[in-house]
Amino acid sequence: MKEFKRDDGRKADELRPIVIKVGVIEQADGSALVSLGKTTAIAAVYGPRSMHPKHKQVSDRAVLQTFYSMAPFSTSERVRPGPSRRSQEISKVTREALEPAVFLEEFPKTGIDVFIDIIQADAGTRTAGINAASVALADAGIPMRDLVTAVAAGKIDEHFVLDLGGKEEEVTKCDVPVAYMPRKKQITLLQMDGDLPPEETKEVIKTAIKGCEILYEKQKQALREKWVR
Amino acid sequence: MAEFIKKERDFVVPGDEIINSMDYLPGRNCLREGNSIYAKRLGIVNLDGRVISVIPLTGVYFPRVGDMVIGEVEDVQSNGWVVNINSAHSAYLPLSGVREFIDTSKTDLSRVYGVGEVIYANINSVVSANSIHLSMQDPRCRKFRSGRIVRMNPSKIPRLIGRQGSMIMMIKDLTGCRINVGQNGVICIEGEKEDLVIKAIEVIEHESQSEGLTDKISLLLGGNKMPKAPETPHREENHQEFQMEEQEQEQEEMLNE
């Protein structure tokens, strides 16, 4: 049998070309750029700093705030700037994907702000955003249990495919973004568009976790490149 | 004895396993899970006896008792001053922390330290995250009346000071400036060659990991190459990092005359 090849020439379990750059924003405490194929996300971390507005501060831990937004020019159709229903949802799931990794209890009454901007979108923006945010948090010197990695997987025809590209997102039976802490072996985000029998869903998740492990090494390597000379 | 997965002075990122052994204890910025010790922060592995810790390479400033800091007065209250010390929370300088006696019924506190004025103070106590008390009792403490304020990453301050204060002493000697370094990453420079000092600080901040930094700064400031150039510069640099912690006390004494 001929080996399965996708539209862009990738194998089923192959990620798009990965670029991770650390420290791209000078004035932020930590920052990172992650690009997977044509999707590019930039994350900037500020803090721990005093929490504003003050009523949001919590007396025994830091408050993690995430702000996901897409640049107006990031897709072929202009995105209306400002918060939308979609960006609010993604901000929320991103925050919940990162929170289990961060030692928030070490910084009571402070806030940690994570700004994620999608410069160019071609599917998988939330996962690219989570990858960028976790590297940026490490770059900001914030104590963490583990780095968080994220990637989506799906099923096209008979094949479980990793890291769906823009066109694949339309033909896949389901789109499952997974955020994962490779050392802890814990999933911190699991969403699913479409449907699939339970057995196959497990298989899709396994595919995504394999991708996360590759990304984990790339993240570590990127941090090392910035800090070790 | 278990093998070190990350050796001393190795670079680690959060989640990196350092050693799988119960023979060692997790120190600062480390955690134990099962039998293993993991890094919590991005930094350099440090071994002190049986305690493994990570010296951070980045991060915002968090006050520790005994630190000398440079802060800007934010507010004058009835019994003291609120001072911004470049940290997550502002610090409080109570009247009792000031050297001389001040009669609040007769003196306007803003005439002692007014809003916007910059002071060199000592961290007296850190009760909880947002209760940081300053003191001016230390003879080094004072109010700045002139000079330029520059900021740098607080975790790179040990590099600016250098081993036993060598770097900062050299900069002072070559430029003739009066330099006060706050552990919180704020530096006050007084003197004619301010620009040269700022340039040197920028180089230190951006090339803090590079080898032969002292020589580079010396040449930049128009001095000679240091006579005691290390034979194995790489080890030298790492060694410096390893010693950063324990030197802090000494450095503080050196950096103020």
CATH code of B116's domain? 2.40.50.140
Across the A:B interface, residue pairs with CB atoms under 8 Å apart total 87
Q: Are residues B77 and B122 in the same domain?
A: yes
A contact test, residue of B58, B86, B210, B216 with most A CBs within 10 A: B58
Q: Are residues B127 and B164 in the same domain?
A: no
In a domain, A198, yes or no: yes
Question: A113 — contact with chain B (CB < 8 Å)?
Answer: no
Q: Are residues B22 and B90 in the same domain?
A: no
In a domain, A116, yes or no: yes
Structure tokens at B154: 């607080």
In a domain, B6, yes or no: no
| pLDDT reported for residue B227 | 53
CATH number for the domain harbouring residue B181: 3.30.1370.10
Rounded Cα distance between A209 and B252, Å, is 49
| Structural domain range at position A95 | 18-227
Q: State the total domains in chain B.
A: 3
Question: B56 — contact with chain A (CB < 8 Å)?
Answer: yes
pLDDT higher than threshold 70 for residue A210 = yes
Q: Which of residues 198-227 of A touch B (CB under 8 A)?
A: 219-220, 223-224, 227
CATH number for the domain harbouring residue B25: 2.40.50.100
Q: Decide: A209 and A190 in contact? Cβ < 8 Å.
A: no
Tell me: the pLDDT tens digits for A129-153? Answer: 999 999 999 999 999 999 999 999 9
Q: Are residues B72 and B140 in the same domain?
A: yes
In a domain, B118, yes or no: yes
| pLDDT reported for residue B215 | 86
Q: Are residues B136 and B193 in the same domain?
A: no
In a domain, A1, yes or no: no
pLDDT higher than threshold 90 for residue A190 = yes
In a domain, B190, yes or no: yes
Q: Are residues B52 and B98 in the same domain?
A: no
Question: A47 — contact with chain B (CB < 8 Å)?
Answer: yes
Rounded Cα distance between B138 and B179, Å, is 17
ipTM above 0.85, yes or no: yes
In a domain, B4, yes or no: no
Q: Are residues B176 and B201 in the same domain?
A: yes
| pLDDT reported for residue B210 | 73
Q: State the total domains in chain A.
A: 1
Q: Are residues B189 and B210 in the same domain?
A: yes
Rounding to the nearest 10 degrees, give the CA dihedral for residues A162, A163, A169, A171: -20
Average pLDDT value for residue range B86-108: 93
| Structural domain range at position B97 | 68-144
DSSP A168-221: HHHH-SEEEEEEEETTTTEEEEE--EE---HHHHHHHHHHHHHHHHHHHHHHHH
In a domain, B1, yes or no: no
Residues in chain A within 8 Å Cβ distance of B45: none
Q: Which of residues 199-218 of B touch A (CB under 8 A)?
A: 209-210
Q: Are residues B128 and B159 in the same domain?
A: no
DSSP B185-216: SEEEEESTTHHHHHHHHHHHHHTTTSTTHHHH
Q: List the one residue out of A124, A120, A63 whose CA is nearest residue A90.
A: A124
Q: Does B58 sit within 8 Å of A144, measured CB to CB?
A: no
Q: Decide: B179 and B189 in contact? Cβ < 8 Å.
A: yes
Question: B49 — contact with chain A (CB < 8 Å)?
Answer: no
Q: Does A140 sit within 8 Å of B15, measured CB to CB?
A: no
Q: Are residues B124 and B156 in the same domain?
A: no
Confidence of residue A22 (pLDDT cuts 50, 70, 90): very high
In a domain, B182, yes or no: yes
In a domain, A4, yes or no: no
pLDDT higher than threshold 70 for residue B233 = no
Q: Report the predicted TM-score, pTM, of the whole model to 2 decimal places.
A: 0.88
pLDDT higher than threshold 80 for residue B238 = no
Q: Does A139 sit within 8 Å of B42, measured CB to CB?
A: yes
Interior angle at CA A186, CA A183 and CA A188, nearest 5: 120
In a domain, A7, yes or no: no
In a domain, A164, yes or no: yes
Q: Are residues B209 and B164 in the same domain?
A: yes
Tell me: the pLDDT tens digits for B204-230? Answer: 988 877 778 888 888 888 877 655 544
Closest CB to A143: pick one of B41, B57, B90. B41
In a domain, A9, yes or no: no
CATH number for the domain harbouring residue A67: 3.30.230.70
In a domain, B214, yes or no: yes
Final residue before a domain boundary, out of B144, B173, B196: B144
Q: Are residues B20 and B33 in the same domain?
A: yes
